[in-house]
Chain A
Amino acid sequence: MSLLDFQGLEVAIRGQTILRPLNFQIQPGEIYGLVGESGSGKSMTALAAMGLLPNGSQTRGKIELEGQDLLALPERRMRNLRGKALGMIFQEPMTALNPVQPVGQQVAETLLVHGVSSKREAMDRAGDRLERVGLAGDKTGLARFPHELSGGQRQRVCIAMAIALRPKLLIADEPTTALDVSTQAQILELLKELVEDEGMALMLITHDLAVVAQMAQRVAVMNQGEIVEQGRTEDVFCQQSHPYTRRLFAASTHKPARAAKVEERPVLAVEGLSHAYPKTRPHPFAPRPSFQAVDAISFQLRQGESLGLVGESGCGKSTLSRLILGLEPRQQGNLSLDDQSLAPGEALGRRLRRSLQVVFQDPAGSFNPRHRVERIVAEPFHLLDKRPSDWRARVEKALLAVGLSAEDRHKFPHEFSGGQRQRIAIARALIIRPKIIVLDEAVSALDVSIRATILDLLADLQREYGLAYLFISHDLSVVEAIADRVMVMRAGQIVEHGPTADVMGNPQHPYTRALLAAVPRIPDHLRPPAQTEQSS
């Protein structure tokens, strides 16, 4: 008998269909992958199994856990299963823990809720479980608060919480999406170990095909609330019988066709750029300590060139981009833009700012929600002395250039999808014809298929306008696809710098090597025959 059996599960929320009949089984002790893009219904499937669907959801069909229909159970009995037979971890470890409670108590709570042990025993066992997931389980370890831990450590606490009672099934919803590659590799390794040691099954939900390829024995591909293809991972990966599966694979390995003409002349040069942030004083009369976020960085960006900047969170990438954009005053180091050199502390000024624009990660957060697209895109015009008389026509042209329609200028940001919003952000960056666009994690929040189209768009625009890109990302595969040269940043310093093919193909610095080794890749034996030849 299967452990968890979805029999024709349908979910609708306030009349809108979210899941079409789903049929799949998870066997005891197996890792089952559920892949798909955002909005495909992966998370809803998991929440349905946990009995935690949002209010106003209607379900049909059955979800059987060892023969018992979960959808028919009353809430009181379902509560007994949650945390005990079914554990779940979520995407955002930064917010998944109660910020005002020590982590030991949060893990112990799983035991206490189910009344399986006394308070003291629960704390002892919480310590054991924390040690099992690789954290300190002693008194100090138990008394730590979530804000004292890193993202990876917090996800470990979430795992300890979910496995405290050794559930039969652990559901992991994008457990590593918010983490750095090396942390991701460690967490995936931990999950694999736990499945083997504890004999539990794992339902792994992810958008990342490479992660599934490394982890899952069987996999289901979801699209628009339906499972379009399922089976053994080798079969699904090698055969790709459904067109959607093929599109998903193509998008995830997409490399835009680039024909950039890189000129010798640098449009941006920084030399010895450093920046330190003040930290809180240990006591009121102590001297203020500081944190060196950017440490003596020098590089040049040439016209028409794409320069990649990779590094893990906290390495100083964002501070560097803020320094270049003039959003943070430069404490040390020179910056020369368009042949004009600026000393530390010297502001960019409107004329220089015109040649520099930026696209941020979160397209939803970087627009004023009460402005229409027209006003948003026209914003950089106040860097000119006077708004050009044909500004409306220019806005239309910019929208057309990024693949939107001229009519879209009358709409508000919320009327667009994430990918479309990122196009609007690119249109805004283009409108005053800058020489450089800083792309700060600009495609990180997008689904693979949308990411592929945005990367194509960026390549086209670069060719057409001779733009230089500073492409900042934690995702090495994206940087590999788009950058001519790449810089690897760690703890405020550039540890390796060179043409992309050299750095990726023959990394010199041990950190670059470790970073590359941690990136999940689809192994060759899981690629369809044609693709294997292509990549080799």
Chain B
Amino acid sequence: MLAFLTARLLTMIASLLVASLVIFIMLDLVPGDPASLMLGLNATPEALAALREQLGLDGPWPQRYLAWIAGLLRGDFGLSYTYRVPVSGLIIERLAISLPLALYALGLTVVIAFPVGMIAAATRRSWGDVSIMGLTQLGIAMPNFWFAIQLQVLFALVLRWLPAGSFPGWQDGLWPALTALTLPAIALALPQASILARVMRSSVLETLHQDYMRSARAKGLSAAGALVKHGLRNALIPVLTILGLQFAFLLAGAIIIENVFYLSGLGNLVFKAISQRDLIVVRSCVMVLVFAVIAVNTLVDLTYGLVDPRLRKH
């Protein structure tokens, strides 16, 4: 188990190093002057020189790369060119919305998809299964911004249960913050839950035909008991894989939903930084997202080991 853990952590560190190198090369080493790219055509030579110095573009690239990495490790991401504030502060501010939103949406995804997928599998080819599968098809096909608008109309304008948008911050306590995130989380979660429910269904269906399910029935377990006690855990591996990918998407890909609900999350920050050519912010955000994705994938790998003892050896 210790060997499994070390191996996974080493893989994670190696992936992070490779990713940081790729990001550095793509944004820093490509032909052309990043400073003039950021400032545009009408930049004065003085402004260009100042920015070059700020970006540290003068030294040889390995030195610049190491300086960047050392900064990242200290939590110093540099100064944003457009906002003139430390990038780390910007990112933390945005993560305070994006991370809880992603986790909230992920939680909803699991809570919806697991039972729905299992019920569909257990009642396969019945009207219940067919209608569930039809609904999930709809959930995948429907654009989530359209769905988000429908949610706003129904729950904010007509029923007035939940706020239609914007985020009050965490300083007023948990409740107002959570209510503000509820509609966006639902809008994000439903398409993901539809995908996950379908994966869950086919994965559970596969376990239903396994010999150990028959053994469980021969012991005296009911069909439902065998499904929950023996089928579920065996069905989890493909589901976990999808779940890991979904978290990465929810963290970085929520930009449209953030815009619909007037939330200034990480997606929003990246989008604005790209349109303002603020490469320092772009580079840092991409690195944070890469770190999140790799960390989640490592977590998924470790969970595989928890779920399936056969995977602990490798």
Contact = CB atoms under 8 A, between A and B. Distances in A.
Given A79-B222, A100-B233, A280-B314, A90 B309 contact: no
Nearest to B232: A100
B309 A98 contact: no
Contact of B308 (A52, A97, A100, A283): A100
Contact of A83 (B2, B218, B234, B314): B218
Contact of B212 (A88, A99, A110): A99
Given A100-B233, A100-B309, A113 B221 contact: yes
B10 interface: yes
A145 B212 contact: no
A87 interface: yes
Contact of A92 (B211, B218, B221, B313): B211
A113 B314 CA distance: 34
Contacts of B313: 280
B94 interface: no
Interface string A124-143: 00000000000000000000
A50 B214 CA distance: 11
Contacts of A84: 220
Contacts of A532: none
A97 B230 CA distance: 10
Given A83-B218, A100-B309, A284 B6 contact: yes
Contacts of A161: 215, 219
A158 B210 CA distance: 15
A158 B234 contact: no
Contact of B220 (A83, A100, A101, A145): A83
B220 A98 contact: no
A283 B215 contact: no
Contacts of B215: 90, 96-98, 158, 161
Interface residues of B, number: 28
Nearest to A102: B309
B212 A82 contact: no
A282 interface: yes
B296 interface: no
B269 interface: no
A81 B219 CA distance: 9
B159 interface: no
B242 interface: no
B7 interface: yes
Nearest to A162: B218
19 contacts: A50-B217, A75-B222, A92-B211, A96-B211, A96-B214, A96-B215, A97-B212, A97-B215, A98-B230, A100-B308, A100-B310, A109-B221, A114-B220, A161-B215, A162-B218, A282-B3, A283-B6, A284-B3, A284-B6
Interface of A: 50, 52, 75, 79-84, 87-88, 90, 92, 95-101, 109-110, 113-114, 145, 147, 158, 161-162, 280-284
